[in-house]
Structure 1
Amino acid sequence: MAVPDYKLSAVLCGHSLDVRCVATTKEFCILSASRDRTAKLWHPEGVKDFVNVVTYKGHRNFVSCVCWLPPCEAYPDGLVVTGSNDNTILGYNLQDGVIQVTLEGHENAVCSVTPGRDSGILLSSSWDSTAKVWNINASRLPPLSLKGHQAAVWAAVELFNNTYATASADKTIKLWKKDGTVISTLTGHTDCVRALAVANPETFLSCSNDASIKHWTNKGQCLNTYYGHSNYIYSISMNPVVQQGFATCGEDGAVRLWAGGDCVRDIRLPVQSVWSITCLDNGDIVTGSSDGIVRVFTKDPARYADEATLKQFEEDVAKMQAATQQEIGGFKLSELPGPEVLLEPGKADGQTKLVRRGTNVKCYSWSAAESTWNEIGDVMGTPPSSEGKTMYQGKEYDFVFSVDIKDGAPPIKLPFNKTEDPWVAAQAFIHKNNLPQVYLEQVANFIITNAKLDSQPVSSNNGFADPFTGESRYVPGSGSVPGLPPPSHADPFTGSGAYTTASTTTSREKMLIPHDAYIRFDQANLKAIHDKLKEFNSKVGDGLSALTDEQLETVVKLCEPNNVYNNETISILKRMLEWPKEILFPVLDVTRLAVRNKEINGQIFDRSYGPTFIKYLLSLLGPDNLPANQMLAMRVLVNAFSDLPGEMLVLAARESVVHSLICLSQLNNNAQIAATSLLLNLSVALAQQPDSVDLADCLVQLLPRITDNEAYFRGLVALGTLLAESPNKLQIQTRVVSSPQLHNRLKKDSGNTMDQNCAKIATLSQQVVSLL
């Protein structure tokens, strides 16, 4: 069935961040919801233009969904309804944006709001694994909760046969009676089910992260499955002017139009993600996308945009497409890996990797300090050897990167020309967007690598900084980078020229909750470690053979980044780990540095040696062991997260790890920092898992005993991460509030804004208290 050609009709600019949802209201008006914490009403003006006439404010986090609730008994003018990541639903007066209704009840982000078929009925769904049915005419009454899904509920709609349908990240769709009883669970999708649409009185549609669309009867029979997208499908909307027609959009940056089950039209957008789609009564299509723009497309030539706008749009799309058809960074698009490659950690600080995402390419940089791949941006331009340019804000650039710092935070454009100084560009980018200074080297390193510049980044004294303290790895012979913070805590036994436990405290970098990257202990004085190993080597006794100076030197070289070693050296290190416990600590120090290397991590934490080694480390946490061994055993466990084998083994032993930490007592400052760092990494890994409550119990017991400010700070980050992301947030809140010692300390610290030395803890305590 032929569908008339759709072209761009209008470009609606006004949001500063991603537009996550678009919807329609009466008189061809458009509603949009954005990560900028607002929703907007766009009113048609003239034949094809729209004007932002009302901006709806009030949410404390980004607005994830919006809908129009038609007039009802309580609100005869209707309501604009929004849902947010602040867990609330707000209802506004359409004309002036005054808040009329506040609905609280969801325990996590609200990701969809949809009117029911009866007057005054509103359906909502949430990351808290429930959907709710609200009666706006009696908003003080508790809503009906639809409980049964095992993961986030992305969408909820009411079908024509007096049943509700919900779509979930647990890959299923559930049908419910009006009293909240489950009728059936529909399976077939192989990934998160993201959206639902009522097709007609007898059927409905679903779309999924598995890049498929399914057509269901209201009783749950799957009639057909449609394919056309190359990546996640985020949104689906029925087209009122096309028989059996609907529109979809997704992560492949495309809108696809369907008729009779066939994909009959493909509209490319110059964006990475098209988050939402809806159809106006006249058949025009509205999209909300990751560039913060609302676009309207039409099949009516009278509503086509002017020639200049159409030409610019086509050029932007062509540039986006051209980038994927050429060699990018020396690779053809077909040779680039998909996002699954990011499951494997990087091999060295600053390593970059190009990843194919649908028909687009993103670049990621490995941060050894954070033990994570950080998305630097879209590869949008032509390769460095080309004369092609990318247009951004009226200027041409060799590259325009789109940096998404974190879900919920702004995606930031980073334009760069090869004639610029990469360090100046990186510093300007950081200052402009108020980013932590520790990002400087990472951003500059990425620019130099991917622009194929001749100059190389000057490594800081300690490489990439620890995200909390500025502490980082030791790089022999390197100078410092101006502007990078100094270390705030020295590693154990690595003072100036002496193997002691002295440490100093300086300012720390600003923290974010929730935290989403692993941290490590990287700083080291290799000469001091080497000297101590030589001293202890002569004392091994107990039938253990002393090592030669050459063997000791090769073992110490395991601590260096990008070291070259052989398997015999790893065998020597394993033998040294059998040294008597009173002289073991420098061997543990070598081990915690060595396991940062991908290959060494794989050998130390392999299936044969790894489980036994983990048990041995846990045995060193016993009360009868040297404090140095306790602290360094924890640091080895922290650095185990540097690569997948170590991460998996620590997580597999998490119950024993948590139990050991609870039993620790009389910890010195360095040991306190090691313990809370280990809990922080566990929190990052387990925050969204049900057993995160056990981890929270450990933090609640340990934090009141922490006396070191840095350790307490890291522990609060771990606790805040759990409170922000755990599916059992309510239980964790109860644990914290039920601990008078911790709860009172939080409240006290959150008000201690006058003491500059405690300012960071005060800010963080305020964030944690706000989550309780």
Structure 2
Amino acid sequence: MAIPDYKLSAVLYGHSLDVRCVATTKEYCILSGSRDRTAKLWHPEGVKDFVNVVTYKGHNNFVSCVCWFPPCEAFPDGLVITGSNDNTIIGYNLQDGTILITLKGHENAVCSVSPSQDSGILMSSSWDSTAKIWNVNNIHSEPLTLKGHQAAVWSIIELGNSTYATASADKTIKLWKKNGESISTLTGHTDCVRGLVVASAETFLSCSNDASVRLWTNKGECLNTYFGHSNYIYSISTNPGLPNTFTTCGEDGTVRLWSSGDCVREIRLPVQSVWSVTCLDNGDIVTGSSDGIVRVFTKDPTRYADEATLKNFEEEVAKMQIASQQEIGGYKLSELPGPEVLLQAGKTDGQTKLVRQGTNVKCYSWSAADSTWNEIGDVLGANPPSEGKTMYQGKEYDFVFSVDIKDGAPPIKLPFNKTEDPWVAAQAFIHKHDLPQVYLEQVANFIITNAKLDTLPAASNGFADPFTGETRYVPGSGTTARTVNAIDPFTGSGAYTTSAVSASSIAASTEKHFIPHDAYIRFNQANLKAIYEKLKEFNSKIGDTMNSFTDEQIENIVKLGELNSSFNPETISLLKKMLEWPKEILFPVLDVTRLAIRRKEINGQIFDAAYGPNFVKYLLSLLNPDNLPANQMLAMRVLVNAFSDLPGEMLVLAARESVMHSIICLNQLGNNAQIAAASLLLNLSVALAQQTDNVDLADCIVHLLNRITDNEAYFRGLVALGTLLAESPHKLLIQTKIVSNTQLHNRLKKDCTSAPTDSNLKKITTCSQEIVKLL
């Protein structure tokens, strides 16, 4: 059949983070769920507009799935059902958002919810590798659990023959009888199976990360395989307004319409990820995407958006296609949030955000006094440098970058030589032009990217890791005297040093407010050459086995730790294979892993639904008290750097209780392990600061602070605790815990009144004063 053209109909703003799921309810209403921990009901108004009439709140983590649950005996008005990364399912009153039921039973993130054909029966699936069948008419009854998958179960549906089908990250689909008995396992997809939908009374469809759609009979026979997407397919939906058609969306930023097995229409959005798609009864298509926006597309010309909106949308799409392949100021445009993030209030005065606006990147600063985001200026990429040196103020430089800070003002020049440390150059630039200290990491990363630094410059005998302070590769040692030439990207001063620091570094640290902290930190620096040599040495000990590697393979694995180098996807598989090495020789593999996962594409593969959950469990096993100290420390560094992108962040947050338990159970901690543990708790505090289930995290931080002897680690622990104290809904409870802990409270009061000359101790004094004020 001929498929009409679809055009944009409505753009629904309201969510502050990714819209991960969309669904429909009665009367052409739309439901949406978001990483901002809320779900929303959008009611049609007029011909093509929608209004947010209810916001559903109650989850402590991302809302990952949503559905309309029809009226049943216990709930004659029906329910809005949501599932979350907090492992729970909540049922709300449709009209006013009152929480009517909370279902607990899953042991990991809930990733799909849907009603059964039987009244009062709810189906759910989870990262805990199970699906569950709940009787909502009797919420106190135990749910039926479908066990058998080896990885996350992304979707569950009921087929036309009254059996269940589940889709999993283990690349399979399973069919089940209603009593929970397994019928068969369907294979064919070569990657994670993300979505299922009933196609007819006899068939159903599946979509996968392998970029394919498969048509199956209810008995498990694969009738056909369809290709059209160029990347992961996240969601699939049939279209009531177009019989015998279905719609898909995915990581290639498109929505695709299919008829008779052919992709007949493509709708491109100005985003990187279209997370979810559903269809209204009138044939309109609804999407939720990574820019936090719900969009509606229609085939009916009477519901097309106005010409100005359509033109603006088409221009955004065209620019996105070009800009998605470009980097501006060292930031890949497609990875930056759009202006919708400015709908969310800032946390601290002076907090900055980089925001994508068309093909530009603008920097905004939060004004607490005015409760508004103020535009500071554009972040512009430098022109390609010419060969040889460039003269600037009478000196020769490898690069002279132009940075546009303010409209109407000339660009500021940033000179840089490859032999310089980018953090030092960034700090000098900030001091010279009196810029906020929070710009440090942005400027340093701008330099690293645009100067195309494959390796960071060397110190006296090779680059010194600011966390180990050593030029040779000894990841577990904490006994060597440590001097640091690099500026710490987190504090703006030396990460930890026993020697004197410059006056400018002291000024930077004493003028800065540390609490609350609002961004994840990570371990960036390392001696890749030393890691390479250590991997070669250990590889020779493996001998001629399945787990040994060629020198070229080792070199390619180490290159994964470089932010700007290209790599073959097969190298990720080699890294996973190397992670199977014996624990006695594992530490350099962990070190290159924590560098590699800073990259978005690698983070997504290491922490995908198939490999990620088991990898996180393995890292936690390395924190057992009887493990090697080097493995313990580096496992925590890997968990810290997992926060570099969403997949790793989600898995670590899902495992946060196990993470905290492991830290508490660690026995003797060297200085480097103390810093790693404190950094991990700091990232958790940034993620969980405003949630209601963070009291256990506060307990863990207090426990660690009482055991810490390293000043840098103690400082980071204080920032973590102060961030919770400043923002937690349970502020009074956390205050009580701090005051009642005599050892910590006495030290806080003592440090408040001290007047140290050492910059690291000054940071502790400043931070202690901020915490005591909050008490």
TM tier, shorter chain?
0.5 to 0.7
Q: Is the contact between residue 460 and residue 481 of structure 1 (CA under 8 Å) also seen in structure 2?
A: no
Q: Is the contact between residue 124 and residue 156 of structure 1 (CA under 8 Å) also seen in structure 2?
A: yes
Q: Is the contact between residue 20 and residue 276 of structure 1 (CA under 8 Å) also seen in structure 2?
A: yes
Q: Is the contact between residue 458 and residue 464 of structure 2 (CA under 8 Å) also seen in structure 1?
A: no
Tell me which of 622, 630, 636 is aligned to 1:680: 636
Tell me which of 677, 692, 714 is aligned to 2:676: 714
The whole-number CA distance in structure 1 between the counterparts of 2:322 and 2:465 is: 38
The whole-number CA distance in structure 1 between the counterparts of 2:29 and 2:133 is: 26
The whole-number CA distance in structure 2 between the counterparts of 1:139 and 1:401 is: 49
The whole-number CA distance in structure 2 between the counterparts of 1:321 and 1:41 is: 31
Q: Closer, same or farther in 2 for the Cα pair 1:447/1:50, shift >3 Å?
A: farther
Query: How far did 1:161 drift?
Result: 1.1
Q: Is the contact between residue 115 and residue 121 of structure 1 (CA under 8 Å) also seen in structure 2?
A: yes
Number of the residue aligned with 1:134: 134
The whole-number CA distance in structure 1 between the counterparts of 2:490 and 2:499 is: 23
Query: How far did 1:682 drift?
Result: 6.5
Number of the residue aligned with 2:36: 36
- Please tell me whether residue 416 in structure 1 is matched to residue 379 in structure 2: yes
The whole-number CA distance in structure 2 between the counterparts of 1:414 and 1:377 is: 16
Number of the residue aligned with 1:66: 66
Tell me which of 651, 657, 662 is aligned to 2:626: 662
Query: How far did 1:320 drift?
Result: 1.9
Tell me which of 414, 423, 441 is aligned to 1:439: 441
Number of the residue aligned with 1:278: 278
Query: How far did 1:466 drift?
Result: 7.7
The whole-number CA distance in structure 1 between the counterparts of 2:522 and 2:117 is: 44
Q: Is the contact between residue 61 and residue 84 of structure 1 (CA under 8 Å) also seen in structure 2?
A: yes
The whole-number CA distance in structure 2 between the counterparts of 1:647 and 1:279 is: 39
Tell me which of 626, 643, 647 is aligned to 2:592: 643
The whole-number CA distance in structure 2 between the counterparts of 1:413 and 1:462 is: 40
Query: How far did 1:306 drift?
Result: 0.5
Letter of the 1:76 counterpart? P
Query: How far did 1:4 drift?
Result: 0.8
Number of the residue aligned with 2:112: 112
The whole-number CA distance in structure 2 between the counterparts of 1:220 and 1:129 is: 21
Q: Is the contact between residue 284 and residue 299 of structure 1 (CA under 8 Å) also seen in structure 2?
A: yes
Query: How far did 1:261 drift?
Result: 1.2
Runs of 5+ unmatched residues, structure 1: 331-349, 355-360, 363-374, 379-391, 403-411, 498-504, 523-592, 615-633, 665-671, 726-735
The whole-number CA distance in structure 1 between the counterparts of 2:125 and 2:7 is: 33
The whole-number CA distance in structure 2 between the counterparts of 1:440 and 1:636 is: 35
Letter of the 1:227 counterpart? F
- Please tell me whether residue 235 in structure 1 is matched to residue 235 in structure 2: yes
Q: Show the 5 A alignment for 1:281-292.
A: 281-292=281-292
The whole-number CA distance in structure 2 between the counterparts of 1:414 and 1:260 is: 50
The count of corresponding residues between Structure 1 and Structure 2 is: 564
The whole-number CA distance in structure 2 between the counterparts of 1:756 and 1:515 is: 15
Alignment root-mean-square deviation, CA: 5.7
Query: How far did 1:746 drift?
Result: 7.0
Corresponding residue SS for 2:23:
strand
Query: How far did 1:396 drift?
Result: 6.7
Number of the residue aligned with 2:718: 759
Deviation readout 1:328-382 (Å, 9 max, x if unpaired) = 579xxxxxxxxxxxxxxxxxxx9x798xxxxxx86xxxxxxxxxxxx6789xxxx
Q: Is the contact between residue 206 and residue 214 of structure 1 (CA under 8 Å) also seen in structure 2?
A: yes
TM-score of the superposition, structure 2-length normalised? 0.60
Letter of the 2:496 counterpart? H
Letter of the 1:139 counterpart? I
The whole-number CA distance in structure 2 between the counterparts of 1:83 and 1:463 is: 50
The whole-number CA distance in structure 2 between the counterparts of 1:270 and 1:464 is: 41
The whole-number CA distance in structure 1 between the counterparts of 2:594 and 2:458 is: 28
Deviation readout 1:572-617 (Å, 9 max, x if unpaired) = xxxxxxxxxxxxxxxxxxxxx5x545654554444468999x9xxx
Number of the residue aligned with 1:26: 26
Corresponding residue SS for 1:295:
strand
What is the identity percentage for the equivalent residue pairs of Structure 1 and Structure 2? 52
The whole-number CA distance in structure 1 between the counterparts of 2:182 and 2:269 is: 39
Number of the residue aligned with 2:50: 50
Letter of the 1:680 counterpart? M
Q: Is the contact between residue 591 and residue 634 of structure 2 (CA under 8 Å) also seen in structure 1?
A: no
The whole-number CA distance in structure 2 between the counterparts of 1:398 and 1:461 is: 40
Corresponding residue SS for 1:200:
coil
Letter of the 1:125 counterpart? S
Q: Show the 5 A alignment for 1:542-561.
A: none
Corresponding residue SS for 2:308:
helix
Q: Closer, same or farther in 2 for the Cα pair 1:485/1:153, shift >3 Å?
A: same
Letter of the 1:204 counterpart? F
Letter of the 2:379 counterpart? F
Q: Is the contact between residue 436 and residue 510 of structure 1 (CA under 8 Å) also seen in structure 2?
A: no
Deviation readout 1:401-421 (Å, 9 max, x if unpaired) = 99xxxxxxxxx9995245514
The whole-number CA distance in structure 2 between the counterparts of 1:423 and 1:463 is: 32
Larger radius of gyration: 1
Number of the residue aligned with 2:157: 157
Letter of the 1:759 counterpart? L
The whole-number CA distance in structure 2 between the counterparts of 1:480 and 1:514 is: 18
Which stretch shows the higher mean deviation, 32-41 or 716-725? 716-725
Letter of the 1:714 counterpart? A
Number of the residue aligned with 2:186: 186
Runs of 5+ unmatched residues, structure 2: 339-353, 365-374, 382-402, 406-410, 415-425, 431-435, 473-481, 502-508, 549-582, 598-614, 643-647, 688-695, 709-713, 735-775
TM-score of the superposition, structure 1-length normalised? 0.60
Number of the residue aligned with 2:492: 485
Q: Closer, same or farther in 2 for the Cα pair 1:742/1:40, shift >3 Å?
A: closer
Q: Is the contact between residue 86 and residue 108 of structure 1 (CA under 8 Å) also seen in structure 2?
A: yes
Q: Closer, same or farther in 2 for the Cα pair 1:211/1:598, shift >3 Å?
A: same
The whole-number CA distance in structure 2 between the counterparts of 1:757 and 1:519 is: 16
The whole-number CA distance in structure 2 between the counterparts of 1:201 and 1:249 is: 24
Letter of the 1:16 counterpart? S
